[in-house]
Amino acid sequence: MIKVFKNNKDLWPRPKRSRDVKALTVKLILILLSMIALLATLYPLVDTNKITPSRASIISIVGVILFLLYSFLVFYEVSTMDGKHIFKQSDSTSIKNYMLHWIAYGGRVAIWTRDMSWANDDRSKNLLLEKAQSGELIICLPTHTSFSRELEEKGGEIYVYGMELLSDPSARFTIAFYGRDGSKVAIGRARADKHIIEEFDTGSHPAFNLANELVQVAKNASQKKNGNEI
């Protein structure tokens, strides 16, 4: 019996802030405190009695410029972090929770994976089975697994493109709201001891188009393997 989880906001919580968001916040606060400390150090050295209106204007202009520079720094750092989530490689629970949240609330999803090994618990399997039954699941992988066959029996679209085409894919991505306006892709990659997941909307980056076209390639290759070439 498959449970329905779509309306359970507690089971699929929004992913917590990543380490880099916290590090960014600390960095910006430290820069601000450093600027305040610098001003506090220089202020006693200024002879306020000798400040003329023109010098006061210059000081005010410098202050405004520094404020604008700091504001630009905040804007730049925040904008470059948009759609980027970073986890420790050892934090497999957070990585999986992120992916399950993405799948649960992503409408029709297309998942590019190697062997579905990440779906090794009842919670993950039940969600994928639910998505398959509702016609909202596409899986692309080089060869069938026992679980992918089960998903196919439940109504999931499984595109097995063959080991001869790509035996050990290193790419990992999931497209949410696949095939409609507003679709977006989450692409995972490893960097040192971190696992980085970046999100791209339709048309915002070539990575989205590449991921979308890979799903089409997998679909066509799967149809040819099954003798259903269109």
pTM given for the model: 0.68
| In CATH, 85-225 is 3.30.1240.10 | no
**Contact, 76 vs 183, CB < 8 A?**
no
Domain boundaries, the chain: 19-81, 85-225
21-64 pLDDT per residue, tens = 666 677 778 878 887 777 777 666 666 676 777 777 877 787 78
Residues 141 and 162: their CA atoms lie apart, in Å, by 8
Provide φ and ψ at 136, rounded to 5°.
Answer: -120, 25
What is the per-residue pLDDT for 81? Answer: 57
**What residue spans of 105-145 are helical by DSSP H?**
122-133
> In which band, very low, low, confident or very high, does the pLDDT at 156 lie, cut at 50, 70 and 90?
very high
Q: Does residue 5 contact residue 104 with C-beta atoms inside 8 Å? A: yes
pLDDT digits (tens, 9 = 90+) for 165-208: 877 778 889 999 998 888 999 988 887 778 888 888 887 788 89
